[in-house]
Amino acid sequence: MFCGLAKREWRGGSLSLEVIGAGFGRTGTMSLKVALEELGFGPCYHMIEVSENPEHVEHWEAAREGRAKWEGFFKDYRAAVDWPTAAFYEELMDLFPEAKVILTVRDPDRWYESARSTIYRIQSVPSSPIIALAAPFVPRIRRMRRVARMASGLAWDDVFHGRFDDRGYAIEVFERWNEGVKRRVPAERLLVYQVKEGWEPLCDLLGVPVPHGKPFPHLNDAETFRKRIRRLKTLALVVVSAGAVLAGLSLLYLRSRARR
């Protein structure tokens, strides 16, 4: 049973979003996603949805160019957090005027270190020679490359202007973004939130009871993310190595046939 507001109708389609996340990745957005779904505001859109639905990449690329067709895109979701949604929180606020906005924040220095070692690091994965060689044979790797290219353009190029390696500049962008959200979102619609605060602020904003006896979810820590990257690279290496072995065996076979 959903605890959120009833769905609204607009231009023949459902207006589904009741919660919009405006915080950067690595500010607890995965924990927030799971918490919102526990409270009845699910499914909740997150970057992992793009990975699982590669056809969504085209929509986000269009949004980046200012030509997105939002109507119906979120018809199956009641909330949306993390990138790429956060980049368009202002447009979505207008489209979903009753939706609450949650700005997830954390200590800027800790945020930078976490982002640099995880989501920023993965931008180099698609251009890795091993990944590029394995991509034609592994659909999962092909999807990852396409999603990573989209995310790289949206975040590292558009938001950080290609200067994320400059720690001071990146933190300045992070802090400026957060202050901009606080200025633009009406106070009655906004929650500035650290996931370590737990259920109470979230439930107060959304007007739902605190889940009894359920700990607040804390997910997607940096080490888990790094393990995911290592597994992907290992898979690519296995595929490429197997291909090289097969190619070598085929060559030996052809040479032996030629000598006969």
The pLDDT assigned to 224 comes to 60
Give the number of other Cβ atoms within 10 Å of residue 75's Cβ: 12
Query: Into how many domains does the chain fold?
Result: 1
The pLDDT tens digits for 165-193 are 999 999 999 999 999 999 999 999 999 99
- Domain housing 151: 8-129+139-219
Residue 218 scores a pLDDT above 90: no
In this structure, are residues 225 and 118 in contact, taking their beta carbons and an 8 Å threshold?
Answer: yes
Q: Would you say residue 41 lies in a domain?
A: yes
Residue 231 inside a domain? The answer is: no
Q: Among 34-38, 99-103, 241-245, which stretch is predicted with the lowest mean pLDDT? A: 241-245
Q: What is the mean pLDDT of the chain?
A: 81
Give domain status of residue 15, yes or no: yes
Tens-digit pLDDT profile for residues 192-210: 999 999 999 999 999 999 9
- Residue 117, both tokens: 């070692």
CA torsion angle 52 195 193 171 (round to 10): -80
pLDDT band at 148 (very low <50, low <70, confident <90, very high): confident
